[in-house]
């Protein structure tokens, strides 16, 4: 193959219609504040914090400088059997904002890895307690837990799982919590807590003592912002306690302030046993994820092995990479020093007022929102997803980036947005809806 400048062919893009993209590329060459610039020099407002990763917007010098300094100081060291200082500092900074007694942090490189790590921790914990028969997992329809085989097994989104079923382990899905009757509900729906009783029925069918853990996103993000009905997460917690099942909150999107609290766990007042996180941990500046666990889980797994033995046979070559830790520390310091989660809470009211004003358009089927995340679901036209796909491209051409799932656009502004930025996003979204 001969190298030629501007050849798009060799790169196989993830989760992208490759052939259509290469006919009409959308290439981002710069990010600054809440704006991107594309390869034609157009300004694009970032309506989804890229992929929910960038609450601080783009181009924060403190993060870039911290990574640069770290790479000069020590670019990499083996994370198995030795460690770098940043891992301890960042773990402490994350544990400071997780709910007690969730104080132990395991680093990974993505949300998908955090899910597979949490699956293994749940199994290791039960085995250490003499309950190794707990090998089944419970998830939910419309769930998204990343793309590794563990996470795809938990997934409740058909396109993500239908091709890979042959290699997936033992997972049973509860029903999702969306209901047409409650369309256009702002915040938590009043009804639907009883859907958590699906977990009880699954225990009656399979035996609660065979189930290791239940995975839920407190707000189901990638399927289009399904906010938990009032009492739903509380009921899941109660059933897990009765049955000895671990409760895992996947906070990959909701973590680090998206709801107005540090984590959705605190926002909804329900403490899980394990929490997965990624994305905003480093403001997207370095690939990184983490699993935070209750002290009892860490202690049970570590104390089950002899003192000089490895206790948990799991880890990644790049777990706690020095550059990712440097980015994470800089980001957590900005969150803390600038009271960033409170900024998200304050801006939420204005954002949601504007978001729900979009319901005047006939093509809108539902709007859902909480904190600084909201979804506008369009009525399907043609194949499922084709209206949404066209809307996403139209929005980009109008100067706005929005993440779409099927026919649903998910708007999640950077927390550093000002009201005028929200106005600009809504104006562009309205212009798209007029033509949709
Ligand atoms: N879990 C949730 C809730 C997510 O939204 C995502 C990604 O969007 C993941 C897991 C997977 O994260 P990653 O793409 O970093 O592997």
The answer to whether residues 229 and 89 belong to one domain is yes
If asked whether residues 301 and 416 sit together in one domain, one would say: no
Q: For a pocket test of ligand 1, which of 117, 252, 279 has the largest count of ligand atoms closer than 8 A to its C-beta?
A: 252
304 alpha carbon – ligand 1 mean position (Å): 31
List strand residue ranges (DSSP E) for 312-395, in order.
364-370, 373-378
**Partner residues linked to 247 by β-bridges:** 214
Per-residue pLDDT at 331: 99
- Pair of tokens at residue 89: 């500092």
Q: Examine residue 2 and state whether it is found in any structural domain, yes or no.
A: no
Indicate whether 211 and 70 sit together in one domain: yes
Distance 25 CA to ligand 1 centre (A): 24
Task: Using the mean position of ligand 1's atoms as its centre, give its distance from the Cα of residue 147 in Å.
Answer: 8
* Centre of ligand 1 from the C-alpha of residue 112, in Å: 6
145 in contact with ligand 1, CB cutoff 6 A: yes
**What pLDDT was estimated at residue 161?**
85
Query: Ligand 1: does its nearest atom lie under 6 Å from the Cβ of 146?
Result: yes
Find the CATH number of the domain harbouring 406.
3.90.1150.10
Tokens read off for 90: 């960042």
The answer to whether residue 361 is domain-embedded is yes
Residue 242 shares a structural domain with residue 314: yes
Residues 264 and 330 in one domain: yes
Spacing, Cα 153 to ligand 1 middle (Å): 14
Does the beta carbon of 278 sit less than 6 angstroms from any atom of ligand 1?
yes
Q: How far is CA 183 from the centre of its chain?
A: 23
Assign residue 70 the CATH number of its domain: 3.40.640.10
Alpha carbon distance 388, 406 (integer Å): 6
For 371, the domain range is 18-59+339-435
Whether residue 84 lies inside any domain: the answer is yes
Cβ–ligand 1 distance for 226 under 6 Å, the answer no
Co-location of 212 and 237 in the same domain: yes
Distance 58 CA to ligand 1 centre (A): 20
Q: Is residue 415 part of a domain?
A: yes
Say if 5 falls within a structural domain.
no
Average pLDDT, the chain: 97
Please indicate, yes or no, whether residues 409 and 315 belong to a single structural domain of this protein.
no
Say if 44 falls within a structural domain: yes
Residue 35's H or E segment, with its range, is strand 35-38
Residue 45's SS3 state is strand
Helix (H, G, I), strand (E, B) or coil at 297: helix
Q: How far is the CA of 335 from the centre of ligand 1 (A)?
A: 21
Q: How far is the CA of 196 from the centre of ligand 1 (A)?
A: 23
Q: If you measure from the C-alpha of residue 277 to the centroid of ligand 1, how many angstroms do you get, rounded to a whole number? A: 8
Ligand 1 and 111: CB distance under 6 A: yes
Over residues 265-276, the pLDDT tens digits come to: 999 999 999 999
Whether 304 is covered by a domain: the verdict is yes
Q: How many CB atoms lie within 10 A of CB 404?
A: 22
In this prediction, residue 170 carries a pLDDT of 87
Q: Which helix (H) or strand (E) holds 403?
A: strand 403-405
Q: Is 233 found in the same domain as 108?
A: yes
Q: Could you write out the DSSP letters of every residue in 78-107?
A: --SS---HHHHHHHHHHHTTSPTTEEEEEE
Instruction: Determine the residue of 146, 225, 403 to mutate for testing ligand 1's pocket, defined as the one with the most ligand atoms within 8 A of the Cβ atom.
Output: 146
Number of separate domains in the chain = 2
pLDDT value of residue 163: 85
Task: Encode 232-284 in three state secondary structure.
Answer: HHHHHHHHHHHHCCEEEEECCCCCCCCCCCCCHHHHHCCCCCEEEECHHHHCC
Pairing outcome for strands 408-411 and 403-405: antiparallel
Q: What is the reported pLDDT for 86?
A: 98
217 in ligand 1 pocket by Cβ < 6 Å? Answer: yes
Half-sphere exposure of 200 (CA within 13 A, CB side): 12
- Give the position, in ligand 1's atom list, of the atom nearest the Cα of 276: 1
Ligand 1 proximity of 150 Cβ (cutoff 6 Å):
no
Residue spans of the chain under pLDDT 70: none
Is residue 52 located within the same domain as residue 150?
A: no
- Read off the pLDDT of residues 361-388 as tens digits, 9 standing for 90 and up: 999 999 999 999 999 999 999 999 999 9
Q: Tell me, yes or no, whether 359 and 327 share the same domain.
A: no
- With respect to residue 115, please indicate whether it lies within any of the assigned structural domains: yes
Whether residues 193 and 315 share a domain: the answer is yes
CA distance 127 to 105: 20
Domain boundary among 315, 337, 359: 337
The residue from 291, 315, 337 where one domain ends is 337
pLDDT value of residue 4: 87
Task: Pick the atom of ligand 1 nearest to 250's CA.
Answer: 3
Helix (H, G, I), strand (E, B) or coil at 319: coil
- Strands of the sheet containing 403-405, edge to edge, are 364-370, 373-378, 408-411, 403-405
Structural domain ending residue among the three candidates 337, 360, 377: 337
Residue 253 CB–ligand 1 contact under 6 Å:
yes
The residues, ordered by sequence, that sit 6+ positions from 424 with a Cβ below 8 Å of its Cβ are 45, 400
Co-location of 29 and 105 in the same domain: no
């Amino acid at each position: 193959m001969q190298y030629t400048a501007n050849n798009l062919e060799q790169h196989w893009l993830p989760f992208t219609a490759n052939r259509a993209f290469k006919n009409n590329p959308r290439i981002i060459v710069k990010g600054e504040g809440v704006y991107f610039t594309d390869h034609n020099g157009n300004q694009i407002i970032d309506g989804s914090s890229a992929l929910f990763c960038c609450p601080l917007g783009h181009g924060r010098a403190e993060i870039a400088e911290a990574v640069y300094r770290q790479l000069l100081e020590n670019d990499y060291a083996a994370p198995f059997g030795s460690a770098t200082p940043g891992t301890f500092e960042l773990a402490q900074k994350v544990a400071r904002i997780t709910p007690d007694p969730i104080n132990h942090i395991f680093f990974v490189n993505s949300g998908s890895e955090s899910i597979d790590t949490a699956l293994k921790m749940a199994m290791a914990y039960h085995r250490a307690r003499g309950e190794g028969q707990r090998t089944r997992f419970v998830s939910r329809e419309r769930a998204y837990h990343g793309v590794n085989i563990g996470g795809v097994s938990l997934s409740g989104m058909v396109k993500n799982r239908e091709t890979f079923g042959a290699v997936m382990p033992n997972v049973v899905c509860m029903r999702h919590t969306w209901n047409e009757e409650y369309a256009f509900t702002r915040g938590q729906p009043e009804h639907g807590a009883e859907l958590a009783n699906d977990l009880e029925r699954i225990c009656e069918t399979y035996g609660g003592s065979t189930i290791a853990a239940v995975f839920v996103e407190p707000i189901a993000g990638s399927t289009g912002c399904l906010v938990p009905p009032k009492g739903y997460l509380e009921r899941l917690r109660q059933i897990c306690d009765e049955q000895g099942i671990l409760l895992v909150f996947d906070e990959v999107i909701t973590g680090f302030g998206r709801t107005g609290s540090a984590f959705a766990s605190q926002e909804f007042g329900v403490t899980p046993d394990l929490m997965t996180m990624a994305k905003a941990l480093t403001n997207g500046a370095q690939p990184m994820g983490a699993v935070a666990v209750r002290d009892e889980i860490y202690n049970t797994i570590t104390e089950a092995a002899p003192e000089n033995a490895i206790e948990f046979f799991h880890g990644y070559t790049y777990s706690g990479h020095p550059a990712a830790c440097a980015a994470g520390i800089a980001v957590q310091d900005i969150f803390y020093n600038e009271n960033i989660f409170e900024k998200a809470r304050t801006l939420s009211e204005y954002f949601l007022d504007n978001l729900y004003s979009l319901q005047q358009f006939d093509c809108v089927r539902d709007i859902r929102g909480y904190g600084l995340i909201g979804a506008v679901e369009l009525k399907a036209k043609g194949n499922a997803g084709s209206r949404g796909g066209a809307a996403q491209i139209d929005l980009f051409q109008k100067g706005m980036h929005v993440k779409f799932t099927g026919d649903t656009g998910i708007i999640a502004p950077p927390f550093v947005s000002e009201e005028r930025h929200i106005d600009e996003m809504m104006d562009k979204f309205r212009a798209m809806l007029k033509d949709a």
